[in-house]
Amino acid sequence: MRLRRKLVLGAVLIVTGLALSAGGCALQRLPNVPREITSPAASPPVLAAFRSDPAVQTQQDWQNRRAPLLKARFQSEIYGAMPAPAGYEIVCREVLQTPEKGAIGTIEQITIALKTAQTGPWKNGHPVVDLILMTPKGKGPFPVIAGGTFCGNNVLLPKQQGMRTTNMPLPQECGGDAPEFLIKAIFGLHANSPPWETLAEKGYAVASWHPGDVVPDVPLVAEPYLQALTPVGTPPAQRTGAITAWAWTSSRMVDVLSADPRLDPARVMLWGHSRHGKAALLSAAFDPRPAAVWALQSGTAGAALGRDDVGEPVADITASFPHWFAPSYRAYAGKPADLDVDQHQLIALIAPRPVLIGTGRRDQWGDPHGSFRALKGADPVYQLFGAPAFTQTKLREPDGKGVLAFYMRPGLHGIHTEDWDEALAFFDRTVPKATTK
């Protein structure tokens, strides 16, 4: 049985046991991560000499020399080649909702044909993505929080008429047999959809799409889509991975959102949970436009340091999800310290823009310690850009000061109301309110 299925089955058993027997006690059997950080600092030090590049002293050194070198290493060793943008075409726009009551103005479905350098196995040769866009009542331009959904758009608004269903294969865990209450019990109230009304009340637009419409999240099925997205001439070991394809898709969605007069292009925030947290970080690292990023429980190849193999080991992630990465990443299974890049350097590529990392106390697999240490490791680059230092010292005590921020809530892997509360407080605090249109 694949690891992912085991995890899901384990979670189902835990919650079912919890519901049937011990009330709230069963969760207590899963250990919290230790309160104190004892592991060493991230390495290599982010400003130190790296490969043939001397130590970084200035912002120009970072931007002109180090950032391109790191992007090349992340592509060749972990994620695979990032496709070039090739434009898009809006195929149609449909209004799904215009509620009279409440703060939501409209919810629309915008169908977008993405252009790609080569044709591939998509119907008509190129990917088509349905973007679900909620805009609040009132006068924009609105800031927008944008991110991918796991199991197709239907899970966002389950009873909505007129929503198109994905025609791509879905991962097994999206099988659809699990009742909604069980999904919420295991993975949180907002596992499938954001708190629309709260976000609208606070003046945020929300954009969601299904990255699996570009590359299906199914290992064997994904390969021809990945081949089609891989830039011509890329060595086979560096073919585009699905995380990269999904990060590229985020950037295409930013293209569309930035051109919408109701939205503020200077306040497009990316977010993602778990695998989509990995993609959100990668997207912002390669694309200067997102104003801020919130990555929740993004773990290995996300916010968590990987060279120490704490949390999800490279051997496991590349065996369970080979399609997520360049084939080259597999070579580091069992010896991740041989990698010369680590995730603090990925976060540093987002500098000086705000990054919030969310973790769960009992989510050992997602590695809260490694994520905290990655933020610390990225901080010197933020300081080089004049951003306030990351001064938090305790995992459980956010200091609410910096543009790099970390929180660890109780519980396991999932998306809860308190996660959204943390994210909104963070975006409110760190993303300037001034509009540019």
Binding site for ligand GTR (CB under 6 A): 4, 7, 274-275, 299-300, 312, 317
Which amino acid is it at 202?
K
Measured from the CB atom, is 7 or 339 closer to ligand GTR?
A: 7
The DSSP symbol for 364 reads G
Measured from the CB atom, is 187 or 225 closer to ligand GTR?
A: 187
Measured from the CB atom, is 238 or 364 closer to ligand GTR?
A: 364
Q: How far is the CB of 243 from ligand GTR (least distance, A)?
A: 9
Q: How far is the CB of 34 from ligand GTR (least distance, A)?
A: 21
Q: Which long-range contacts (CB under 8 A, 24 or more apart) does 52-61 make?
A: 56/381, 56/384, 58/384, 59/384, 59/385
| Tokens at 425, concatenated | 């407080």
Which amino acid is it at 386?
G
Measured from the CB atom, is 300 or 364 closer to ligand GTR?
A: 300
Burial of residue 80 (CB within 10 Å: 0-12, 13-18, 19+) is: buried
Q: How far is the CB of 322 from ligand GTR (least distance, A)?
A: 12
Pairing of strands 142-148, 205-209: parallel
Q: How far is the CB of 178 from ligand GTR (least distance, A)?
A: 14
Measured from the CB atom, is 10 or 236 closer to ligand GTR?
A: 10
Measured from the CB atom, is 366 or 377 closer to ligand GTR?
A: 366
Pairing of strands 292-296, 263-273: parallel
Strand order, beta sheet including 205-209: 88-97, 104-114, 128-136, 205-209, 142-148, 263-273, 292-296, 355-360, 404-409
Q: What is the largest CA-CA distance in the chain?
A: 61
Pairing of strands 292-296, 355-360: parallel
Q: How far is the CB of 144 from ligand GTR (least distance, A)?
A: 23
Q: How far is the CB of 75 from ligand GTR (least distance, A)?
A: 19
| Torsion region of 182: left, alpha or beta (phi above 0 gives left; psi -120 to 50 gives alpha) | alpha
Measured from the CB atom, is 290 or 311 closer to ligand GTR?
A: 311
Measured from the CB atom, is 196 or 321 closer to ligand GTR?
A: 321
Q: How far is the CB of 189 from ligand GTR (least distance, A)?
A: 16
Q: How far is the CB of 174 from ligand GTR (least distance, A)?
A: 11
| Whether the Cβ atoms of residue 42 and residue 303 lie closer than 8 Å to each other | no
Measured from the CB atom, is 103 or 356 closer to ligand GTR?
A: 356
Q: What are the two backbone dihedrals, phi and then psi, of residue 18, each rounded to the nearest 5 degrees?
A: -60, -45
What kind and span of H or E run contains 112?
strand 104-114
* Chain centroid to CA 90: 24
| Whether the Cβ atoms of residue 179 and residue 408 lie closer than 8 Å to each other | no
Q: How far is the CB of 278 from ligand GTR (least distance, A)?
A: 7
N-terminal to C-terminal alpha carbon distance within the chain: 53
For residue 207, give the 3-state DSSP assignment.
strand
Q: How far is the CB of 110 from ligand GTR (least distance, A)?
A: 25
Measured from the CB atom, is 143 or 414 closer to ligand GTR?
A: 414
Q: How many helices (H) and strands (E) does the chain have?
A: 12, 9
Among all residues, whose Cβ is closest to ligand GTR?
Answer: 274
